[in-house]
Chains A and B, each alone.
Chain A
Amino acid sequence: MKKFLIFILGLICINGSYCNELRWAADTDSGAPSVFYDGNNQLTGFEKEIVDEVCKQLNRTSVFYQNDWAWLVPGLDHGLYDAIVEGFFRSEENENAVLFSIPYYTCPLSLIISENDEEIRSIEQCSGKKVGVLCCSRPKWVLKKYKDIIIFEYPNEYGALADLKNGRVDAVVLDYPAAIYSLMAMDGLKIVNNFDKVEYLVAVKKDNHSLIEEIDKALFKLIKNGKIQAIVSKWGLSNSLFDGYVTKVVNGNEVDARETFKQEQSVSKFQKYAKLLPVFTKAAMVTIEVSICGMIFAVVLGLILVLIKLYAPRWMQLIVTMFVEAIRGTPLIIQLFFIFYGLPFIGITLQPLVAGIVALGLNYAAYESENFRAGLKAVPGGQMEAARALGMTQWQSLRYVIIPQAFCFVLPSLTNDFIAIIKESSLVSLITIVELTKTYTMVSTSSFDFFIPGIIVAFFYLLLGLPFVRLAKWAERHLALEKSAYRAKQLPQKRMNINGR
């Protein structure tokens, strides 16, 4: 990847066209109407058209870069491109991380509910209810003020609205453009109220004052000569807030247009990071909850699977084999999406946490069943014979003699898998669960600081894994079946005695 970036940077430098280009980035995944690829695979969208107009004003060629939402700002800092045009809004966290232009568009937030919901009419009535928002969006930031609202975060509009339809959330709040465009594609939902305000700004690198001035000037001109209004109304995005803003710009001067953000008294960096610790601790609890529940699920199911595979009738063995192969042969992320977004189509709607645990559990159960198979095979055959000879049934022999011993054999690989599941649990962040990884991207994308939070989150993951490694080592020693392990248990004590002499 790095080489690839250097290659691109190199190309640009060789071309020497650097000064005549406006290299800008957006995430096309956010879909219509902002910046997206149309049916003919052509880049389009109202923001794209605005950028084109800006480029005309600046006499530069527009060069588009696709980047994932979360990594837009790091790309900017890296010098990959000069500007971001992706509905960025200003908040106290990101104020100092980048330079913002004047707004090129403003709109309200839209409260979306199910068509037959008679109860919710405004955001105030959502207290105690579950409300879906996009991660790192203005609505999420606004909803934080309403303490009673339970916020669910989604990576895209579709996920949020699908969950509204199948009842996992009671309402969804989106930016006005996203709301009207996604409702065109989905029936059974309606916008019940527009509230608050979001301003879309162009972001450039912190020290790039000359570029932001140029962009500001261009935007002014474009608002004054009505080009932006034309684009906005062409895309059907006009609204009273935008009209008010335009009037203000047309009548007033440049300084008025840029609303200054009232910043709270500045806090030191250290204080800022200290504030993150409780947030990460809470997230770590979620990670550990998902991991432990997932692992318990996996161990129990894995054991059932292997017992079926080894001792049940042939047709059941066949089903289990197919299940294990299907799970092992497909990516976990697909399984996760299928369980969370796919199953509601056949009427099974799981809560995010449950869906995450089930997905991880099913996935790991397939691996654990093979693990246990090796463990059961490692128990000498004489053990089963001895148990049967004592009059135990096959199940009793397994339950009291074979499985406990097999467990001792598989403990090391079980520990391995547990550490792996802690890390893989980061995938559940994709189905609205706020765990460590999610918290990291949330904190980082809102403050545009990826360094220190990254170190903190890595530290937390490490911290979660270590106690289990110790626990497993302890268990290994205490469940010892052989003399060698017993000696290992005794050794430290003997050493101490020698030192004592």
Chain B
Amino acid sequence: MNEDPLIQVKNLSKNYCEYPVLKNISFNIESGDLVSIVGASGCGKSTLLRCLNCLETLDGGEISINGISISSKLALVDYKTFLERAHQLRQSIGMVFQSFNLFPHKTLLENIMLAPMVVKKQSRELSRKQGMELLEKVGLASFHKRHPWSISGGEKQRVAIARALAMNPILMLYDEPTSALDPEMVEEVLQVMRNLDRDGMTQVIVTHEMKFARDASDYIIYIENGQIVEISDEDEIFISPKDERTKRFLKRYM
């Protein structure tokens, strides 16, 4: 196994129209960890996640995931290589969105089968078999012929997770996966994530579910105004936050 951490982020910064959103962010994540990123709305945590998946360009710093590294410099010097690496990176990272973004013109099974068939040129039979297994894993095997509009939000998010897993990612990113869901549905989605953690999947979650963050995470990254305020063990941050700002934030959420 690789000695280096799975994810290395060094001095990452990102601006939106000259306005800095992320300032000088650095952290490492080891393989198999479940990490929660918390913070107030608009603090830049979603942007951080999107940067990890190269859905945003970098304005400074460097990201290295599983040995593939991209940097803001590379984008300036050799844009083509940058795009190639970004594409390569995305293939090994699964991402789940707050608004699910299932493909409405396809059935649930087809949603899962599409990427392996198109990107990996996997055969239809194999993709179907794999798709059914994944639906089974998220407890929706009997729904495979239904369309996204006919299922609930929680079910949609479970399908979205299955769809991301179909590409056999080494890392899963979740962008507020439960924010659009009823409390009851939240639990079924979190359960899927707990199961994945048990299987050894590396997961990074941007969330407002403090209870889940506390119970399931290996550690928590707290961000405020585009900067990391505190990285700490989950118990530590909840019991005795080091920083004054973390204290204030947790008070509001717990």
CB nearest to A484 among chain B residues: B149
Whether B221 sits at the interface, judged by CB under 8 Å, is no
Whether B150 sits at the interface, judged by CB under 8 Å, is yes
**Contact indicator A386/B97 (Cβ below 8 Å):** yes
Query: Hey, which chain A residues are within 8 Å of B189, CB to CB?
Result: none
Whether B152 sits at the interface, judged by CB under 8 Å, is no
Whether B183 sits at the interface, judged by CB under 8 Å, is no
Whether A408 sits at the interface, judged by CB under 8 Å, is yes
CA distance A396 to B149 in the complex (A): 23
Whether B202 sits at the interface, judged by CB under 8 Å, is no
Query: Hey, which chain A residues are within 8 Å of B76, CB to CB?
Result: none
Whether B90 sits at the interface, judged by CB under 8 Å, is yes
Q: How far is the CB of B166 from chain A (nearest CB, A)?
A: 8
Query: Hey, which chain B residues are within 8 Å of A390, CB to CB?
Result: 90, 94-95, 114-115, 119, 163-164, 167
Query: Given B87, B101, B147, B149, which contacts A386 in the complex, CB threshold below 8 Å?
Result: B101
Whether A468 sits at the interface, judged by CB under 8 Å, is no
Interface window among A90-98, A258-266, A329-337, A398-406: A398-406
Whether B55 sits at the interface, judged by CB under 8 Å, is yes
Query: Hey, which chain B residues are within 8 Å of A482, CB to CB?
Result: 104, 149
Contact with A along B113-156 (1 / 0, CB 8 A): 01100110000000000000000000000000001011000000
Query: Given B53, B103, B147, B150, which contacts A389 in the complex, CB threshold below 8 Å?
Result: B53
Contacts known (A389-B95, A390-B119, A400-B114); A405 close to B53, Cβ less than 8 A: no
Whether A479 sits at the interface, judged by CB under 8 Å, is yes
**Contact indicator B105/A479 (Cβ below 8 Å):** yes
Query: Given A382, A400, A486, which contacts B150 in the complex, CB threshold below 8 Å?
Result: A486
**Contact indicator A386/B55 (Cβ below 8 Å):** no
Which of B53, B101, B167 is most buried by chain A, counting CB atoms within 10 A of its CB?
A: B101
Query: Hey, which chain B residues are within 8 Å of A383, CB to CB?
Result: 101, 103
**Contact indicator B105/A404 (Cβ below 8 Å):** yes
Query: Given A385, A391, A480, A486, which contacts B115 in the complex, CB threshold below 8 Å?
Result: A391
Whether A247 sits at the interface, judged by CB under 8 Å, is no
Contacts known (A382-B101, A383-B103, A385-B55); A483 close to B90, Cβ less than 8 A: no
Query: Given A389, A405, A480, A486, which contacts B90 in the complex, CB threshold below 8 Å?
Result: A389
CB nearest to B92 among chain A residues: A391
**Contact indicator A483/B149 (Cβ below 8 Å):** yes
**Contact indicator A386/B103 (Cβ below 8 Å):** yes
Whether B232 sits at the interface, judged by CB under 8 Å, is no
Query: Given B87, B105, B115, which contacts A481 in the complex, CB threshold below 8 Å?
Result: B105
Whether B8 sits at the interface, judged by CB under 8 Å, is no
Whether A393 sits at the interface, judged by CB under 8 Å, is yes
Query: Given B94, B101, B114, B119, which contacts A385 in the complex, CB threshold below 8 Å?
Result: B101
Query: Given B91, B99, B118, B167, which contacts A400 in the complex, CB threshold below 8 Å?
Result: B118
**Contact indicator B53/A486 (Cβ below 8 Å):** no
Whether A442 sits at the interface, judged by CB under 8 Å, is no
CB nearest to A383 among chain B residues: B101
Contact with A along B213-248 (1 / 0, CB 8 A): 000000000000000000000000000000000000
Interface residues in B76-111 by Cβ distance below 8 A to A read 87, 90-91, 93-95, 97, 99, 101-105
CA distance A25 to B167 in the complex (A): 79
**Contact indicator B149/A481 (Cβ below 8 Å):** yes
Query: Hey, which chain B residues are within 8 Å of A483, CB to CB?
Result: 149-150
Contact with B along A461-485 (1 / 0, CB 8 A): 0000000000000000001111100
CA distance A373 to B172 in the complex (A): 33
Query: Hey, which chain B residues are within 8 Å of A389, CB to CB?
Result: 53, 55, 90, 93-95, 97, 164
Query: Hey, which chain A residues are within 8 Å of B91, CB to CB?
Result: 391
Interface residues in B38-94 by Cβ distance below 8 A to A read 53, 55, 87, 90-91, 93-94
Contacts known (A386-B103, A400-B114); A391 close to B167, Cβ less than 8 A: yes
Contact with B along A376-390 (1 / 0, CB 8 A): 000010110111111
**Contact indicator A481/B167 (Cβ below 8 Å):** no
**Contact indicator A405/B149 (Cβ below 8 Å):** no
Query: Hey, which chain B residues are within 8 Å of A180, CB to CB?
Result: none
Which of B102, B105, B167 is most buried by chain A, counting CB atoms within 10 A of its CB?
A: B105
Q: How far is the CB of B15 from chain A (nearest CB, A)?
A: 20
CB nearest to B148 among chain A residues: A481
CB nearest to B95 among chain A residues: A389
Q: How far is the CB of A118 from chain B (nearest CB, A)?
A: 60
CA distance A382 to B102 in the complex (A): 9
**Contact indicator A405/B118 (Cβ below 8 Å):** no
Whether A392 sits at the interface, judged by CB under 8 Å, is yes
CB nearest to B98 among chain A residues: A382
**Contact indicator A396/B101 (Cβ below 8 Å):** no
Query: Hey, which chain A residues are within 8 Å of B119, CB to CB?
Result: 390-392, 396
**Contact indicator B103/A401 (Cβ below 8 Å):** yes
CA distance A479 to B147 in the complex (A): 11
Q: How far is the CB of A16 from chain B (nearest CB, A)?
A: 75
Query: Hey, which chain A residues are within 8 Å of B95, CB to CB?
Result: 386, 389-390
Interface residues in A49-86 by Cβ distance below 8 A to B read none
CB nearest to B164 among chain A residues: A390
CA distance A392 to B101 in the complex (A): 15
Query: Hey, which chain B residues are within 8 Å of A380, CB to CB?
Result: 99, 101
Query: Hey, which chain B residues are within 8 Å of A392, CB to CB?
Result: 115, 118-119
Contacts known (A401-B103, A481-B104, A486-B149); A388 close to B118, Cβ less than 8 A: no
CB nearest to A397 among chain B residues: B118
Which of A380, A400, A480 is most buried by chain B, counting CB atoms within 10 A of its CB?
A: A400
CB nearest to A481 among chain B residues: B104
CB nearest to B119 among chain A residues: A391
CB nearest to A405 among chain B residues: B105
Which of B118, B160, B164 is most buried by chain A, counting CB atoms within 10 A of its CB?
A: B118
**Contact indicator B101/A391 (Cβ below 8 Å):** no
Enumerate the 10 nearest inter-chain pairs by beta-carbon distance, A residue then B residue, closest first.
A391-B91, A386-B101, A390-B115, A389-B95, A382-B101, A481-B104, A391-B119, A483-B149, A391-B90, A404-B105
Binding site for A on B (CB under 8 A): 53, 55, 87, 90-91, 93-95, 97, 99, 101-105, 114-115, 118-119, 147, 149-150, 160, 163-164, 167
21 contacts between A and B (CB under 8 A): A382-B97, A382-B99, A383-B101, A385-B101, A388-B55, A389-B90, A389-B93, A390-B90, A390-B119, A390-B163, A390-B164, A391-B115, A393-B87, A396-B119, A400-B118, A479-B105, A481-B104, A481-B105, A482-B104, A483-B150, A486-B149
Q: Apart from A385-B101, A389-B93, A486-B150, what 14 extra A-B contacts exist at CB < 8 Å?
A: A385-B55, A389-B53, A389-B97, A389-B164, A390-B94, A390-B95, A390-B114, A390-B115, A390-B163, A391-B87, A401-B103, A480-B149, A481-B149, A486-B147
